[in-house]
Amino acid sequence: MTSPLAKNQVRSLRIAAGLTQTELAERAGVSRTAVTAIEGSRLVPSVATALALAKVLGATVEDLFREGEAEQGQPVVEWAWPPHDHFSPSGAGTPRHRAEIAGRVVQYPASAQPMWSPWPEMGGEDAGASAGETLVIAGCDPAVGLLAQRYAAATGLRLLVVPRSSRAALEMLARGLVHLAGLHFSTSDDPDRNLQVAKELLPAKFQLLRMAQWEEGIAVAPSVKLKTVAAAGKAKLTWVGREAGSGARRCLDRLFDGRTTPRRQARNHRGVAEAIQSGWADAGVCVRLASAEAGLDFLPLEREAYDVCIPEALVHDRRVKAFIQVVKSASYRKIMSALPGYDMKETGSLFGSR
């Protein structure tokens, strides 16, 4: 094994897995300080610690502490997150999507992706598109499949979707693992919050592309028969939560106002709705579309701005330029306007460059 100080993948794989340093430390049975030092290449982990970190991140020790340098004249090829061993322990037989990002080829295990993109061939190359024809977005818009479909039809290119919460999406963007990141922290009370969070997490200049204004609120099982947010706050309900760093979690924290948030958490808006629809929760926070799809009652809490963050270095990439044109198109806006809770009046506006 190479020296851990030579090349350290712990931070990138942790972010790709959607974990904080504290969460990784707790699951691996080490201190957060140790995780920080290991990620910063200031500490060589013991064999036991390296094995524990690898187990939590679903990787091998070699994955975490490999040299990873490209041969001269060849692009760096790396996994966005470690493949599971359902196909092959080494990952060699794992079907994967590939995308070129800033001169590197990033691979995404297809088995962990929603079926919004063509299934690639086993072992490597994509069946439907090359790395240079693939645009990758991380985010939590439950209607992004419609965008991917429209993007492919209008451009002949492919939009690959990586489901992540707002903060996790920005962290993947900061690591160069995706081209675009969706976020929805801005509300009518705090309209610049998307811009502020992006500035906190991204090291380079960027622009924000307005995708929609949508409604976030409480999805409630119809059998509960609640009519108001105030009544939901007083009732004895079983809630499903959201992970820290998500826009829905920020909304949920405001709703709970200091009370302990739910222990059980869903990873996305549809996960919240499915938990309620399946009967193991009475209520949770999600966007109206996810609630409507599941046939749940919905109590609006606030309107949020959903934006996509575009690094300034990629604004002139032909895949990104095509994406912006599709978002601005009348046909896309018409499709999205028909969805519950989506307001497309500001869709396509660019702002926030710094």
User: Is 239 contained in some domain?
Assistant: no
At 5 the pLDDT is: 44
pLDDT band at 303 (very low <50, low <70, confident <90, very high): very high
Is the domain of 57 the same as that of 168? no
pLDDT band at 129 (very low <50, low <70, confident <90, very high): low
User: Is 282 contained in some domain?
Assistant: no
Is the domain of 81 the same as that of 59? no
CB 96 within 8 A of CB 160: no
Residue percentage of the chain with pLDDT more than 70: 85
Residue 146: domain span: 77-200+314-333
Q: CA-to-CA distance for 11 and 301, rounded, in angstroms?
A: 35
Cα–Cα distance list, 122 to 39, 51, 89, 91, 133 (Å): 32, 28, 14, 11, 19
Cβ-in-10-Å burial (0-12, 13-18, 19+) of 223 comes to exposed
Q: At 296, which amino acid appears?
A: L
More confident residue, 318 or 57: 318
Mean pLDDT of the chain: 84
- Distance, CA of 301 to chain centre: 23
pLDDT in tens, 279-289: 999 999 999 99
Is the domain of 328 the same as that of 192? yes
DSSP 255: H
pLDDT in tens, 184-212: 999 999 999 999 999 999 988 899 999 99
Read off the pTM: 0.75
Is the pLDDT at 115 greater than 50, yes or no?
A: no
At 126 the pLDDT is: 46
Give how many domains the chain has, as a whole number.
2
Is the domain of 319 the same as that of 193? yes
CB 353 within 8 A of CB 205: yes
CB 143 within 8 A of CB 149: no
Q: What is the CATH number of the domain that holds 46?
A: 1.10.260.40
User: Is 131 contained in some domain?
Assistant: yes
